[in-house]
Chain A
Amino acid sequence: MGTFIAIVLAAVLTQNFITVKTYGICPFLGVSKKTNSAIGMGIAVTLVMAIATAVTYPLYEYVMVPLGIDFLEIIFFIFIIAALVQMIEQIIKKLSPSLYKAMGIYLPLITTNCAVLGVCELVIGDMSSIIGEAAMNTGWAVLYAVFAGVGFTLVMVIMSGLREKLNNYGEMPKAIKGFPIAMITASIICMAFTVFSYIQL
């Protein structure tokens, strides 16, 4: 139970993917203009992160390490992620055309989202700062991926709300419009999230 809480808190708050680890900034800045699209992107990323980790972690731990081909991890992982994104796209298209329409454009972009490859790389690395003495296994890896995705979605939604509000205050100077003001907003969100680093387990 302790490990469970530690993983959830670390993934969502204390080591949030956007505000602390700075993974997945491209969609964070690119798709956060509207709350609806931010939620869609967040869910899609969470889904891909969870499934990608569920595939890559056992593959790495039980196939690649025993065979001594763990140095090929980057090539394997990026291919698995690309294939998974394609597959998920097809499945969602078949099962739920409305959901596919809602997040259709964001799905293919997830392949080049560093949050996905980032979580796959993180869980095969040293996780002892989060889970302590407990042994790492596929379950914890997938749990970490799911809640890292939840943390990502949370910050995306906060950001999109702030950016929608910002648009109400009239024209901005050309130099600061777009990315600069989004970065400065993100900086303030990061400062707010610093508070969670005081959580100790």
Chain B
Amino acid sequence: MNKYAKITLDGILFQNPTFMLVLGTCPTLAMIHSASSAFGMGLTVIVILTLSNVIISALRKLIPNQVRIPAYIVIIATLVTLARMVLEKFVPDLYDSLGSFLALIVVNCIILGRAEAFANKHTVAESAVDGVATGIGFTLALTVMGIICEFLGSGSIFGAKIMEFKIGAFATPAGSFLVYGICIALFVYIMDSIERFRRERKNRPLTRESLVQEVA
């Protein structure tokens, strides 16, 4: 398989930061009460993660190994400060809905985690692809859960009214925790099933003889 395709698939599916690695839980739980704020959080993380991966990967030979974590934190904190100024100026609605969680992207373990686990060992291009893919994995997971929570919590999706009903608990952290937990369980179950299916097919190639044997 192509190297970049593998990085992309890993980021979105096999090492999905939200469902498989369970990183960055605080912003996830705080944002999924509405689909649009979850999506906005995801987009912000894609941009910051890609930029931080690229910068850290470009500087990976310059940063001494002993002080790499403080160096990464400075880079990430600078990017978050910039993102905050840009959002405050150009997208004030999103800035308000993200609230203090915009500043807390600094301590989002996904970004520092990718810097430490990927960007400081790979080339700039690979790190950029990894940043985008991991970010998309995060955004997809958040948006899906955001849609579920918002639909159950207020009967609307992305702010558009769908049905006249609501279960108030799903607009609170209690509902976020519940939806997140069930989504992880489902995701793990589906990935496991796919894995088992692939393994079985590898062991018993699908031929006429094996099918006849199975039926018999």
Contacts and interface: CB of A to CB of B under 8 A. Distances in A.
A171 B23 CA distance: 25
A24 B176 CA distance: 15
21 contacts: A19-B173, A22-B176, A25-B29, A26-B23, A26-B25, A74-B84, A74-B106, A78-B77, A78-B106, A78-B107, A111-B107, A112-B109, A121-B100, A121-B104, A174-B188, A175-B185, A176-B185, A179-B22, A180-B182, A188-B174, A190-B172
A84 interface: no
Given A20-B173, A21-B30, A190-B177, A125 B185 contact: no
Contacts of B84: 74
Most B Cβ at <10 Å: residue of A24, A75, A180: A180
A165 to B, nearest CB: 17
A45 to B, nearest CB: 13
How many interface residues does chain A have, given as a range?
35 or more
B169 interface: yes
Interface of B: 22-23, 25-26, 29-30, 70, 73-74, 77-78, 80-81, 84-85, 100, 103-104, 106-109, 112, 169, 172-178, 180-182, 184-186, 188-189, 192
Contacts, number: 109
Contact of B26 (A19, A23, A190): A23
A78 B76 CA distance: 10
B112 A184 contact: no
A99 B10 CA distance: 41
A27 B108 CA distance: 13
B18 to A, nearest CB: 11
A118 interface: yes
Given A74-B80, A122-B100, A194-B174, A187 B181 contact: yes
A166 interface: no
Contacts of B178: 183-184, 187
Contact of A121 (B103, B169, B174): B103
A5 B72 CA distance: 41
Given A71-B81, A112-B112, A194-B172, A82 B73 contact: yes
Contact of A174 (B80, B81, B192): B192
